């Protein structure tokens, strides 16, 4: 006995409207669930700027130092000690001799720690920029 099927393959234009809907829904989902935080978890209170203006706009190397009983040093959001920081900056100086390093230090941090960080950067031949906040954002 032969069974007949009534299913036929349709050969028509592909409807892209459902595909576009799914892509847009995925885009909206990822935009709403992503976070746009500059540096989560490292809270510092930089000092206010004096008369200096300008800064580095395209910086990939940031040293963040926090105050406390034992100051913590972060290099690009990774906790690091001073000896490892020297090695990392020496490696960067070989790859990019004209790189600039931004130093973000807490207002309550001892001056000696900031001086050590500046020395490490300058001894490797890199440019150092001290980050501060403007007068308007400090209020």
Where are the chain's structural domains? Answer: 61-130
Interatomic CA distance for residues 68 and 91, integer angstroms: 29
Write out the H or E segment, with its range, that includes residue 105: strand 100-105
Interatomic CA distance for residues 115 and 23, integer angstroms: 51
For 61-130, give the CATH class. Answer: alpha beta
Q: What is the pLDDT of residue 8?
A: 76
Q: What is the pLDDT of residue 133?
A: 66
Q: What is the pLDDT of residue 139?
A: 47
Q: What is the pLDDT of residue 135?
A: 60
Q: What is the pLDDT of residue 40?
A: 58
Q: What is the pLDDT of residue 67?
A: 86
Interatomic CA distance for residues 66 and 114, integer angstroms: 10
Identify the bridge partners of residue 73 per DSSP, sorted by sequence position: 65, 80
- The structure's pTM equals 0.56
Q: Report the chain's mean pLDDT, rounded to a whole number.
A: 80
Q: Is the pLDDT of residue 20 over 60?
A: yes
Q: What is the pLDDT of residue 138?
A: 47
How, if at all, do strands 127-130 and 100-105 pair? parallel
Q: Is the pLDDT of residue 56 over 80?
A: no
Percent of the chain with pLDDT over 70: 76
More reliable by pLDDT, 56 or 40: 40
**Rounded average pLDDT over 22-31:** 92
Question: How deeply is 34 buried, as exposed, middle or buried, from its count of CB atoms within 10 A (0-12, 13-18, 19+)?
Answer: exposed
């Amino acid at each position: 006995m032969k069974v007949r099927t009534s299913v036929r393959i349709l050969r028509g234009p592909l409807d892209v409207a459902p595909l576009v809907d799914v892509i847009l829904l995925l885009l909206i989902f990822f935009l709403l669930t992503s976070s746009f935080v500059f540096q989560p978890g490292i809270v510092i209170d930089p000092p206010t700027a004096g008369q200096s203006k300008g800064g580095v706009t395209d910086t990939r190397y940031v040293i963040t130092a926090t105050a406390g009983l034992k100051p913590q040093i972060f290099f690009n959001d990774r906790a690091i000690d001073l000896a490892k920081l020297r090695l990392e900056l020496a490696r960067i100086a070989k790859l990019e001799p004209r790189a600039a390093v931004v130093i973000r230090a807490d207002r309550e941090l001892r001056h000696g720690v900031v001086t050590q960080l500046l020395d490490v950067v300058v001894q490797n031949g890199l440019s150092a920029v001290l980050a501060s906040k403007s007068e308007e954002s400090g209020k």
